[in-house]
Structure 1
Amino acid sequence: MNKLRRPGRFWSRLILLISALALMGILTFQESRQGAATRVFSLKNLLISQAHTEGQYSVLVDEQGRMLDMMARRVYLNDEYIAADNRRYKVIRVEGNRAVCREIGIEQLSQGEETIAVPARTAVPVQAGGNQVIGVYHSHDDESYVPTQGAESIPGSGGVLQVGTAFANRLRSLGLTVYHDQTSHAPHDDAAYRRSRRTAMGLLQKGAAAIFDLHRDGVPDPTFYRRTINGQDVTMIRLVVGRENQNMSANLDFAKRLKAAADARYPGLIRGIFIGAGSYNQDLSPRAMLLEVGTHTNTLAEAERGTTLFADVVPPVLGVAARPTAARTPSTAADWKGVLFVILAFVLGGAAFLIISAGSWEKAVARLKQFTSIEWVNLLGWRRSRRPLLTREAGQGPGNQKEIVKLDKKPAAESTPNDERADWQKE
């Protein structure tokens, strides 16, 4: 009986395998006919995500052909882009590495704190506004800056790690607690986001109110990201929001508030906000953000300066008052009142102890006079009034080498008695 069933099982599994291969072939054929504009949710992209590219980049243009942006990532149909001037565009078709965008409105940005709803299925609870803990990590830790480091990629020690350090140090100087996790998630591919997910969750479990995944772009033109702000060359920063997660609206709101704050303080610092296919682990938190700090043709110093400026706008967006750790809090009237209170308490306490130990007010005053006239004087070494007088013989001057100095001593009987001291000693 079992022997008769085995051939049937074999043929059913073979038919299932052939059907799966045929389905993949049909999907691949349809992709080749319909072009790149419909590749977002293909089976191939589910198996091997290709959001990031190496050695190539996409160009975003409007319907008149004017360039809006360019980035070293694949752009898909229905991706969106908020430009530096806050105009919002949507990708309506993709032609090779060229994405045509249609303007759909102008964003009204606000840097004020707004209510962010946390979905019930969020894996890790996020702390409420005002939390001073920030998490920083790197899904692609190999990304480097060629002019400074000589290579685009240095696995495990890319320049982007140093950019993260500059970002974290600036936040710490503003009084925030920062966990900068430099765990490597190599190799550099989109599967790195699955490997870095554990890192992101670990930062949230430490109480991070916001997490930042720092990257750098890969467009070849260094001037595309370079700006001069406050008299120094810095790299611009692009904010990236994944539109395939339940926190997309909250993440986008966070990105818009960061941009609004940066526009107000450092105009020109933000390259724009790209809303692309993918998740980037932003489903873990409504305040999870991917940053692209310059491109590989910028210098490391430019990128560090850019991210340092960006750090200045993070505390106000999170509702945290920046408190520079290097600055000292100025003294106030309340502080001086506290000091005077301590001094007054010390004086009154000392007076009470003196009266109690002396037994009466008169004796306490006598003891205090004795202390100031003798003990205090002796403590400072002022004994001249009690030293024997030095007299010189008549006719002897200070310039005479034969000068004779005599001690003018008084008999003990002629000394003035100290009645107060005698009374004090009797006690």
Structure 2
Amino acid sequence: MSKDRKVCFLSLIIAYILMLTAFTADALASPSEVKTPHERTDKGYYTIVDEKQNILHQTAHMLTKGDELITADNMRYRIIEVKGDYAYSRLIGKEEMGNLSPSSEKSFLSRLLAQGEEKNIGIYHTHSDESYVPSDGTESIYGNGGILKVGKVFAEKLKEMGYQVHHSTRSHDPHDVNAYYRSRRTAAQLLQKNLSALFDIHRDAVPPQVYAANIKGQEITKVKFVVGRTNPRYQSNLEFAKQVKAAVDKTHPGLVQGILIAKSDFNQDLAPRTLLVEVGAHTNSREAAERGVAMFAEALPKVLGSPGTPPSTELPDAENRGSGWTIFWLVLLVTAAAFAYLYVNTGSLEGALDQLRNLYGRLLKRKG
């Protein structure tokens, strides 16, 4: 093969790899759907009621037909109509929560390898302006909301328990329809830290009694989990939310308000263990929210495992299959690059195949 031909061939291979890399990065950094409002913009809120008009929950999140709510007592409801400030729902049934018992399928080797392994947890804030009126004096502080302090308490509590915490306080303001688009890059960057879980910490915008509670003699705010139902990792993220709720229900009963399943992705398509957590509302005090989020942190080892131990729960099989496809494509890319290198060096397809056969033969002999 001539020198010019080799240079041309190598250039094509490099261009292919660069395009594939750029495509992958863009897929991570670009939203998976056209963004629509995620919450009420008129300072109002929805009241979710059941068939008997009993109030189940109140939230400023945008609600649509087909959204669902798993209540504090694990009853699952589906919204069948949204009219004005009311969302009318129908009972689906009792929801089975996540299994917290250690998996019997974990091998001794996997447990041994987990010893001493750092567990990384990511925290960020899509709505970095969100604040608490009784403590911060306003419901919104551009780029430096009280929610950042709630996130800091969450991070410090996790660090006390031995976790490696990556807390981003990057601003994603203004608080508009594009906030999740801007925070997507933050989430993608945090996920490069080999995270066990990623949390987007928010607060709601409803009357104070919706989240106010007294647990173990402390005035706190409850937390609520929000899962986006329009992303390919919906089932994995919902299972994670259910596992976390089951854990918190054991350590601090009454702390979790419920799980809202809404028509959006909330950037949860990026990973299987991503969760949006509402910590109180703008009408609650920030100090109560800080106490609530600290209690929430105390339950996470039951799901993620304490640092140096494997997680106590398994991800759904669907997510494992997704990881398998990622490995497959990576192996395919590396193999293609290696074959191209051999082809350029030998000058022919037959020569490249001979090199691969020789390499395979040496590996078999070494194994034997």
User: Could you tell me the TM-score, scaled by structure 1's length?
Assistant: 0.60
Counterpart check, 1:74 vs 2:62: yes
| CA offset digits 1:61-110 (Å, max 9, x no partner) | 00111110010122100000000000000011111221110000101213
2:227 counterpart of 1:228: no
Looking at structure 2, the residues matched to 113 and 171 of structure 1 have their Cα atoms a distance apart, in angstroms, of: 22
Contact 1:175 1:322 survives alignment (8 Å) = no
Match of 2:201 among 211, 214, 232: 214
Mark the CA change 1:255 to 1:319 in structure 2 (over 3 Å): closer, same or farther.
same
Cα separation, 2, equivalents of 1:153 and 1:279: 24
After the TM superposition, which of the residue ranges 128-137 and 48-57 deviates more from structure 2?
128-137
Match of residue 233 from structure 2 = 247
Letter in 2 for 1:286: P
1:107 alignment partner, one of 52, 73, 95: 95
Residue 312 of structure 1 aligns to a residue whose secondary structure is helix
Provide the C-alpha distance between the structure 2 equivalents of 1:131 and 1:113, rounded to a whole number of angstroms: 21
Flag the 1:283–1:47 CA change in 2: closer, same or farther, 3 A: closer
Matched, 1:144 2:150: no
Specify every segment of 5 or more residues in structure 1 that has no aligned partner in the other structure, as ranges.
1-45, 116-127, 324-427
Q: Secondary structure, in 3 states, of the residue corresponding to 1:209?
A: strand
Question: Matches of 1:179 and 1:48 in 2, distance apart?
Answer: 27
The answer to whether the 8 Å contact 1:131/1:208 transfers is: no
| 1:158 aligns to 2:145 (yes or no) | yes
Please say if residues 122 and 165 of structure 2, whose CA atoms lie closer than 8 Å, have aligned partners that are also in contact.
yes
Residue 171, structure 1, aligned to residue 163, structure 2: no
Q: Which structure 2 residues correspond to residues 324-363 of structure 1 after superposition, within 5 A? A: none
Q: Which position in structure 2 is the counterpart of 1:278?
A: 264
**3-state DSSP of counterpart to 1:184:** coil
In the alignment, is the contact (CA less than 8 A) between 2:66 and 2:78 conserved in 1?
yes
Inter-CA distance 131–108: structure 2 relative to 1 (3 Å threshold)? farther
The 2-side partners of 1:232 and 1:271 are apart by: 16
Kept after mapping to 1: 8 A contact 2:119/2:308: no
Q: Is the contact between residue 217 and residue 294 of structure 1 (CA under 8 Å) also seen in structure 2?
A: yes
Q: In structure 2, how many angstroms separate the alpha carbons of the residues matched to 1:251 and 1:113?
A: 19
CA distance in 1, matches of 2:191, 2:126: 16
Measure the CA separation in 1 of the matches of 2:268 and 2:231: 7
Amino acid at match of 1:82: I
Q: Where has structure 1 moved over 2 Å in runs of 4 or more?
A: 128-131, 319-323
Aligned residues: 265
- For 1:240, what is the secondary structure of its paired residue? strand
Structure 2 distance, partners of 1:169, 1:155, is: 23
Displacement of 1:208: 1.2
Q: Which gives a bigger RCO, structure 1 or 2 (Cα 8 Å, sep 6+)? A: 2
| TM superposition shift of 1:165 | 0.1
Gaps of 5+ in 2: 1-32, 104-113, 310-368
Match of 1:53 in 2: 40
Bigger radius of gyration: 1
**Matched residue type, 1:154:** I
Q: Distance in 1 between matches of 2:169 and 2:125?
A: 7
Q: How far did residue 131 of structure 1 move? A: 5.6
The answer to whether the Cα contact below 8 Å between 1:155 and 1:186 also exists between their aligned partners in 2 is: yes
Percent sequence identity over matched residues?
46
Query: Contact between 1:52 and 1:73, CA under 8 Å: does it hold in 2?
Result: yes
Q: Give the corresponding residue for 2:184.
A: 197
CA-to-aligned-CA distance 1:245-290 (integer Å, 9 cap, x gap): 0110000000001100111110100000000000000000100000
Q: Cα deviations across residues 94-131 of structure 1 (Å, max 9, x unaligned)?
A: 1122111000010121342688xxxxxxxxxxxx9986
Moved more, 47-56 or 106-115: 106-115
- Does the C-alpha gap of structure 1 residues 321 and 47 become closer, same or farther in structure 2, counting only changes over 3 Å? closer
Q: Which residue identity lines up with residue 141 of structure 1 in the other structure?
A: S
Q: Does 1:289 align with 2:270?
A: no
Corresponding residue SS for 1:311: helix
User: 1:302 and 2:288 equivalent?
Assistant: yes
TM-score (norm 2): 0.69
* 3-state SS in 2 of match to 1:166: helix
Q: State the one-letter code of the partner of 1:196.
A: S
Q: Which residue of 2 aligns with 1:418?
A: none
Mean alpha-carbon deviation: is it higher for 171-180 or for 54-63? 54-63
Cα distance, 1:263–1:157 mapped onto 2, change above 3 Å: same
Look up the match of 2:85: 97
Aligned residue in 2 for 1:88: 76
* SS of residue matched to 2:247: helix
* Secondary structure at the counterpart of residue 278 of structure 2: strand
Q: Distance in 2 between matches of 1:216 and 1:92?
A: 26
Is the Cα contact below 8 Å between 2:98 and 2:240 reproduced in 1? no
Matches within 5 A, 1:22-33: none
| CA shift digits 1:202-252 (9 cap, x unpaired) | 111011111000000000x21211111111100000000000001100000
Spell out, residue by residue over 1:325-350, the C-alpha distance to the aligned partner (whole angstroms, 9 max, x if none). Answer: xxxxxxxxxxxxxxxxxxxxxxxxxx
What is the deviation of 1:320? Answer: 2.6
Q: Please report how far the alpha carbon of residue 47 of structure 1 lies from its aligned counterpart in structure 2 after TM superposition.
A: 5.9
Kindly indicate whether the alpha-carbon contact (under 8 Å) linking 2:201 and 2:276 is maintained by their aligned counterparts in 1. yes
